[in-house]
Amino acid sequence: MTAAQILGIVPNQFVLEHLPNSVFPEDDEWVALVRAPEGLTVLREAPPHVEADRWVGFYGGATAHSLDTPGMLAAIVAPLAEARVSVFVASTYHADLVLVPEYKLEAATAALREAGHTIKS
């Protein structure tokens, strides 16, 4: 088995929030939530008027895999780490949404292609 994947670039931009004293956001405009002892992390689609760091994503839905397939996420994040690209990951049952800072999209795409992944816009 190879860990090379077909990754699509998600057309949306995202923002991340940390809500230290919350257990659930006050609205339902979120994509993913992660609750931890230090608070709530909220992933949202970036509204056009919000000034915040924007993230863009790669999604491996074309190469969906079972939960017991090792190395699929590592095959994506390792080349990004080597290229010094920060990531935020939200995993689904079948694939992973790997977010990178918007300004690093070109470097991330190049690193993933060099690692053998196919990137589709």
Orientation of helix 72-82 relative to helix 105-114, angle to 10°: 120
One digit per residue, the tens of pLDDT, for the chain of length 121 reads 357 899 999 999 999 999 998 878 888 888 888 888 998 999 999 988 888 899 999 998 666 667 777 788 999 999 999 999 999 999 888 788 999 999 999 999 999 999 999 999 7
Instruction: Kindly tell me the burial class for residue 17, based on how many C-beta atoms sit within 10 Å of its own C-beta (0-12, 13-18, 19 or more).
Output: middle
Could you say which of 3.30.9.10, 3.30.2130.10, 3.40.1030.10, 3.40.50.1110 is the CATH number of the domain covering 6-120? 3.30.2130.10
Provide the pLDDT for residue 64. 65
Residue 43 CA to residue 79 CA, distance in Å, equals 23
Provide the pLDDT for residue 72. 87
Provide the pLDDT for residue 8. 93
